[in-house]
Amino acid sequence: MPLTKPKILAFAGSTRTDSFNKKLVKIAAAGARAAGAEVTLIDLRDIPMPLYDGDLEVQQGLCENVKKFRALLVEHDGLLISAPEYNSGISGVLKNAIDWASRPGPSETPLACFIGKVSVIMSASPGALGGLRGLVQVRSILSNIQVLVLPEQMAVPKADEAFNANGTLKDIKQQAAIEALGRRLAEILIKIK
């Protein structure tokens, strides 16, 4: 075990209170913790950011919540992201958070928050594909901003029927697979730390 535990930031690209993706990322976070990582679970609803606007950035700079989100990204080695699929693509909330965080702070290079991070992505959706089409876009975006996205991923279909009242998945194989995503990210980070 390394002297310091790897730090993982976990969040969903949804702000809905009863979001399937919030439930899903909690399961993966538990797997990462069990593997020895320190996990910080956040809700993007608690860090609201305006729609990205280059003029707003020039006039006002980075708002406090953007700075807060960027600081969280910088402090962590890895990312667990559960990304809902909206109309076959990435959610606006997730894309907006990425867009703001990609902006350089004072005396920083662009993408300073993302370069060198390792990520695992997952999705849950009421649809038959479980959000798989959106994950293709999330993987592409993260890869292009120099995040290493591990090949392991999971999409949980029929999410409106998939969860128990306590937030676990009814299908024990799915539950184990999502926990394994978090564990895999933690194991990789432990190896490279």
**pLDDT tens, 135-181?**
999 999 999 999 999 999 999 999 999 999 999 999 999 999 999 99
pLDDT at 1 over 90: no
Residue-wise pLDDT tens digits, 23-64: 999 999 999 999 999 999 999 999 999 999 999 999 999 999
Q: State which fold the 7-192 domain adopts.
A: Rossmann fold (3.40.50)
Strands (E), the chain: 7-12, 38-41, 78-82, 85-86, 89-90, 118-124, 148-156
* Structure confidence at residue 109 (pLDDT): 85
d(CA 173, CA 77): 28
What would the pLDDT profile of 79-135 be if each residue is shown by its tens digit? 999 999 999 999 999 999 999 999 998 888 889 999 999 999 999 999 999 999 999
pLDDT of residue 23: 98
Give the amino acid at 153: Q
* Predicted TM-score of the model (pTM): 0.96
- Domain residue extents for the chain: 7-192
